[in-house]
Amino acid sequence: MSKPAIFTGAGVALVTPMHPDGSINFEKYRELIDFQIENGTDAIIAVGTTGEASTLDNDEHLEAIRVAVEHTKGRVPVIAGTGSNNTRQAIYMSTRSKELGADGLLLVTPYYNKTSQRGLIAHYTAIAKAVDLPMILYNVPTRTGLNLKPETVAELYKLPQINAVKQASSNFSETTILASLCDIPIYSGNDDLIVPTLALGGKGVISVLSNVAPRAVHDLCASWFAGNTEESLKLQLQYLDLANALFTDVNPIPVKEALNMMGFEVGQCRLPLYDMEPAAKEKLRAVLQRYDLIK
């Protein structure tokens, strides 16, 4: 049961810029969206993990989605992060995001209270029945403490609304098993595993790295789909150190720090996420200098 992917290539897990008082800086948000699209990014993923969804209230969350849809103006798809560990909340946010014009939804697995694999099927089935919009399952066990197993994904893919899965798991063998079970579009959720995911038939990446190097990540994916796998692999290896540097602290702390160093003035993360240690900042600065992103 093949379904067309919402997008193919590099989707950016966009940061949410903040003013010094902690409110969302929507002027900067629009600037970041333009920067991404002008540099080849194939989709905007708004208010996911990197967008600090967990510390935005409902009004802020929905306003960020509205602004992303309005400002993107159909240039690329906008995928709204609407997952929750409360099924009713996920349905509400997903329904409102559809009303605001989102092209798709990114739905993280329930966290903290977690659930069983049977519970995951019930959770996602309830959302899919309530909202007729393409949905990307989001598996990130290190964040949620819950692994979305390949067999569960294959079962969920039978639902018409389930369109793809974002695999942000260090257990790459499970991604391989998933690819063998069904033809669900797979997006890498790990910037260091883009090429391996593409080699399994993946459709691209939902990328943190794209925040600071959108053209490189776009070209990595585009080269692969154009048949130039050597160039794609070259870019994967070339940007490995930068990708790793953005995870030397809890995401999105390092990527927002990197953007600030690059002059984007995206502000700090909301508490409880906190500033990097000075020594860690200097290591990050050195990596950005090595990639000619700052002087």
Catalytically active residues are 138, 166
Does an H or E element contain 70, and which? helix 58-72
Q: What are phi and psi of 61, to 5 degrees?
A: -60, -50
- Cα separation of 258 and 98, whole Å? 32
Contact criterion met (CB below 8 Å) for 193 and 172? yes
SS3 of residue 135 by DSSP? strand
Residue 266 CA from chain centroid, whole number: 18
Q: Which two tokens stand for residue 67?
A: 């602004």
Instruction: Enumerate the β-bridge partners of residue 107.
Output: 137
- Cα separation of 20 and 268, whole Å? 8
Q: Is the four-CA dihedral 167, 81, 158, 201 of positive or negative sign?
A: negative
- Cα separation of 204 and 194, whole Å? 7
SS3 of residue 158 by DSSP? coil
Q: Check whether the bond before 252 is cis (ω within 30° of 0).
A: yes
- Cα separation of 251 and 53, whole Å? 12
